[in-house]
Amino acid sequence: MIVRERDHDFILIQQDHHAAISGDIVKQWKKDYFLGEALRSSVEFAAYQHDCGWKEFDKQPFLNDENGIPYSFYDFPVLPKIVLYKHGIDVVEQVDSYAALLCSEHYKRFLLNHTSLEAQEFVTAENTRQQAIMDARNEFNKRLFNFHYSIVQFSDNLSLYLCINEPGITKESEHSFFKEGIPMSQALQEFCNAHLQLHWKNENTVVLDDFPFEQPFDVIIKLKVIPKVDLSAKGLVASYEEAAFEEWKVTLTAP
């Protein structure tokens, strides 16, 4: 779950809905900037599905009993998070092994330096999975894979920027994750600077200084607003299930 706290309520965005925006972002990637066109559908599928392991969990979100705030993706406990990671990769692998390879690398990097036994076992298991997928392919191009992974990573970051910041927020007040823009891997710096700079022009428009897309396009942020008074009176799950989904349209454009 992606969580924004305001004075009187919480904004909750399901991880799977955030991933749908990631997929829309990859789908708009400029054709001339995409290497390995034969694998494009797999890269798009990986972006769309990279958080599918959270899908059922986010329908009934969890409350952090230490601070009374709904758990978000970055403070959710590691051990159940590992279960969700593995489940999501398994689901993707049943449909597209190359997309699963991209998702596996995405989640493995989150836990490379985590010291728990469970995290290190996950990393080891994903290394084994990745090697099996690579061995099963007639040819595996590591440079091409790194490029595709970089696009998935970028789409995840750009979608997160849209979801975690309040629409129309000033640059000075943006979430700390994006104070210096969105970092771009070496594989993408042929098309963009080392950090892609962007800002909210207004509540419905985000301007990207480097624009690696075919044309301006719209994305839909699907969210629920949970009043704090409801959270106190009914609990998180009941409040969330009773709240209606709202949609917020944002246009991504060049300067």
Q: pLDDT (tens digit, 9 = 90+) per residue, 139-150? A: 899 999 999 999
Q: pLDDT (tens digit, 9 = 90+) per residue, 39-79? A: 999 999 999 999 999 999 999 999 999 999 999 998 999 99
Q: pLDDT (tens digit, 9 = 90+) per residue, 85-139? A: 999 999 999 999 999 999 999 999 999 999 999 999 999 999 999 999 999 988 8
**CA end-to-end distance (rounded Å), the chain:** 31
The CA-atom distances, in angstroms, between 204 and each of 21, 112, 131, 200, 254 are 15, 37, 43, 8, 14
Given its phi and psi angles, is residue 150 left (phi above 0), alpha (psi -120 to 50 degrees) or beta? Answer: alpha
| Dihedral of alpha carbons 223, 227, 230, 236, sign | positive
What per-residue confidence (pLDDT) applies to 61?
96
What per-residue confidence (pLDDT) applies to 211?
93
Q: Are 157 and 182 in contact (CB under 8 A)?
A: yes
**DSSP state for residue 36 in the 8-state scheme:** -
Q: pLDDT (tens digit, 9 = 90+) per residue, 221-250? A: 999 999 999 999 999 999 999 999 999 999
**What is the pLDDT confidence band of residue 193, given thresholds at 50, 70 and 90?**
confident
What per-residue confidence (pLDDT) applies to 191?
76
| Structural domain of 247 | 2-253
SS3 of 13, please?
Answer: strand
Q: How many domains does the chain have?
A: 1
- Amino acid identity of 2? I
